[in-house]
Chain A
Amino acid sequence: MSGAWAIAEQTARESYGRLLAWLSARTGDVAAAEDALADAFRAALEHWPEKGAPKSPEAWIITTARRKLIDHARKQKTRSDAHSAVLLAAEEAESEANSESQFPDERLKLMLICAHPAIEPSVRTPLILQTVLGLDAARIASAFLISPKAMSARLVRAKRKIKEANIPFTAPSLDVLPERLSAVLDAIYAAFGTGWNDFDGAEDSAGGLTLEAIFLAKLLTTLSPDEAEAWGLLSLMLHAEARRNARRDDGAYVSLKDQDTRAWDKTLIAKAEEALAKAWRLDKPGRFQIEAAIQSAHAASRLQDRDVTEDVILLYQRLIELAPTLGAQTGFAAALSNGGRDEDALTLLDGINDHAVSSYQPYWAVRAHILGTLNRNEEARGAYERAIGLASDISVRAFLHHKKKAL
């Protein structure tokens, strides 16, 4: 019995996104496909423990989902063309399921739909997490700091939009593909955290979705292996993940230069380097590759005891040319300060003309550090104060209090 459960669970984990993508691509209705799949998995949990798991669990699920879709289409009394599309899809599903061949993988199309320009940017990441990975709204909501009810409502609205706006499940033409893929990359990176930076005082966030984000990036490199930025993003996230355990010592925040490298995951670092090498070979540089290269340099500085200060400064310069975000500029300032160019760093920070600075915590942490180095302690204390007030992680707050006291 537990065996049948395990097979049902495994099928859900490994095949959910593929089955849903396949059903959605043929019906254009993500919500209906989701419902049908959920019913099919529920039926599997009822029948399999009793009768044993079928030889081909995926075929069983898709056949059952097909019946549910037909029922749904009938009940909805949809327009005849939509109705026949559903029936056609259902028949195709059955013949595919009965043949031994694998379903075509439509997950890339599904991800592109979720990150379509017609879908509001803030809901793209939750939509990908739910459709490709089958995460429930409550889990996604907790990572994004909103209520499960509100998250469900946003997801439902987005899926209705896909259906009503008739966003096509076809691969975009080559001239818009890079732009569309970049929206997918942004959505995956948003699942990883609000940003990943190794300058002191930066927080890592988005509780527990990092592994999901890495899975998605890996999937993207499989589905679209010529996309250099997908490899870059994968590398960046693997580097970050490799150091996760070392960033906290007994709950307290530990900055990069003080981290115990024995706690770094060397296997992940090797995989990160491999992904970055693949990206470079494609010879299409982008912001994620540059950010991964910065993390790679940081790793080398500790593991091979190499002075990477100038490399990091050059990489940040390049990053700012490509993507002049507040995070990149703050990182550049931190890198300059690290290279002893604190006056330049401060000039750079002073020159940022962006209202978002007033609520961007890392800016104030880096500014405080630079002012402290320049012995402008009174101003440094004020900047630390701002950073403390903007921190939401209790250990980062404690770290900043400590630095302020040490001035």
Chain B
Amino acid sequence: MKYLFLLYDDENAWDSMPEDQRNEIFGSYFAYSDALRKSGAYIAGAPLVHSRDAKRVGRQVEDGPFADGKEQLGGYYMIDAKNLDEALDWAARCPCASIGHVEVRPVWNIGE
């Protein structure tokens, strides 16, 4: 089963964070991605740039940020897991789970 992790945190907190702390969090993300890769669960993942640079395209184009809350979508992972329990274990290990929250979405398998 494929699962998409949507990582939400307070992107403005990053700007005011001491460099040491930021490096430690970056380090944790590298380590996490690596652990995913080495266990064979990793499919894809990336951080996103600040949501003020987001665009929203519908009938017209709007500028971001769009989210009302303090936490914005800041990155994603796509992983492969045996079942939801295993996916949730991986989500709990994501550094984002300690600072913001991780939304776990099973990917709809439309028969590949």
Residue contact A145 to B92, C-beta cutoff 8 Å: yes
Q: With A358-B40, A359-B39, A392-B97 given, is the CB distance from A385 to B30 under 8 Å? A: yes
Question: A82: CB under 8 A from chain B?
Answer: no
Return chain A residues, CB-CB under 8 Å to B33: 389
Residues of A within 8 A of B31 (CB): 385-389
Residues A390 and B35 in contact in the complex (CB < 8 Å), given A145-B88, A358-B40: yes
What are 13 of the A-B contact pairs (CB < 8 Å)?
Answer: A122-B85, A358-B39, A385-B30, A385-B34, A386-B34, A387-B31, A388-B27, A388-B32, A389-B30, A389-B36, A390-B93, A392-B93, A398-B24
> A390 CA to B97 CA in the complex, in Å?
12
Cβ contacts under 8 Å, A398 to chain B: 24
Q: Given that A146-B88, A394-B98 are contacting pairs, would A388 and B28 also be in contact in the complex, using a CB cutoff of 8 Å?
A: yes
Interface centre among B31, B39, B41, B90 (most CB of A within 10 A): B31
* Complex: A28 Cα to B84 Cα, angstroms: 32
Q: Are B32 and A389 in contact (CB under 8 A)?
A: yes
Chain A residues within an 8 Å CB radius of B95: 397
Q: Is B38 an interface residue (CB 8 A)?
A: yes
Which residues of A lie under 8 Å from residue B35 when comparing CB positions? 358-359, 386, 389-390
B24 close to A401 (CB less than 8 A): yes
Cβ of A146 to closest chain B Cβ, rounded Å: 7
Judged by a CB distance under 8 angstroms, whether B15 is at the interface is no
B68 within 8 Å of A (CB atoms) = no
| Total A-B residue contacts, Cβ distance less than 8 Å | 54
In the complex formed, the residue of B with least CB distance to A150 is B84
Interface membership of chain A positions 206-226, coded 1 if the CB is closer than 8 angstroms to chain B and 0 otherwise: 000000000000000000000
A23 within 8 A of B: no
Give 1 or 0 for each of A359-393: 1 = CB within 8 Å of chain B CB: 10000000000000000000000000111111110
Enumerate B18-52 residues with CB–CB distance to A below 8 Å. 24, 27-28, 30-36, 38-41
Q: B interface, how many residues as a size bin?
A: 20 to 34
Bound state CA distance, A385 and B30, in angstroms? Answer: 8
B112 at the binding interface (Cβ < 8 Å): no
Give the interface SS of chain A, mostly helix, strand, loop or mixed.
helix
Q: Which residues of B contact A (CB under 8 A)?
A: 24, 27-28, 30-36, 38-41, 84-85, 88-90, 92-93, 95, 97-98
Closest chain-B Cβ to A157's Cβ sits at a distance in Å of 15
Chain A neighbourhood of B24, CB < 8 A = 398, 401
> Measured between alpha carbons, how far is A386 from B37 in the docked complex, in Å?
10
Cβ contact within 8 Å between B93 and A389: yes
Q: Nearest B residue to A384 by beta-carbon distance?
A: B31
B30 to chain A, nearest CB (A): 7
Contact B27 A391 (CB under 8 A): no
- Taking a contact as CB atoms under 8 Å apart, the answer to whether A391 and B85 are in contact is no
Mark A273-288 against chain B: 1 for CB-CB distance below 8 A, else 0: 0000000000000000
If A358-B39, A397-B95 touch, does A389 touch B89 (CB 8 Å cutoff)? no
Chain B residues near A391 (CB-CB < 8 A): 93
Contact between B36 and A392, CB atoms less than 8 A apart: no
A358 to B36, CA, bound (A): 9
Contact B27 A392 (CB under 8 A): no
Chain B residues with Cβ below 8 Å from A392 are: 89, 92-93, 97-98
Provide the residues of chain B in CB contact with A385, threshold 8 Å: 30-31, 34
Chain B residues, CB < 8 A from A150? 84
Q: Complex: how many Å from CA A139 to CA B24? A: 33
- When chains A and B are docked, how far (Å) is the Cα of A398 from the Cα of B90? 18
Q: Which residue of chain A has its CB nearest to the CB of B36?
A: A389
Shortest CB–CB separation between residue A311 and chain B, in angstroms?
34
Chain B residues within 8 Å of A359, by CB: 35, 39, 41, 89-90
Considering only residues 73-131 of chain A, those with a C-beta below 8 Å from chain B are: 122
Set A122, A145, A358, A386: member contacting B89, Cβ < 8 A: A145
* New A-B pairs, 20, CB < 8 Å, besides A388-B31, A389-B34: A145-B88, A145-B89, A146-B84, A150-B84, A358-B38, A358-B39, A359-B41, A386-B34, A386-B38, A388-B32, A389-B33, A389-B35, A390-B35, A390-B93, A392-B92, A392-B97, A394-B98, A397-B28, A398-B24, A401-B27
A390 and B84 CA atoms in complex are apart in Å by 17
Chain A min CB distance to B101 (Å): 13
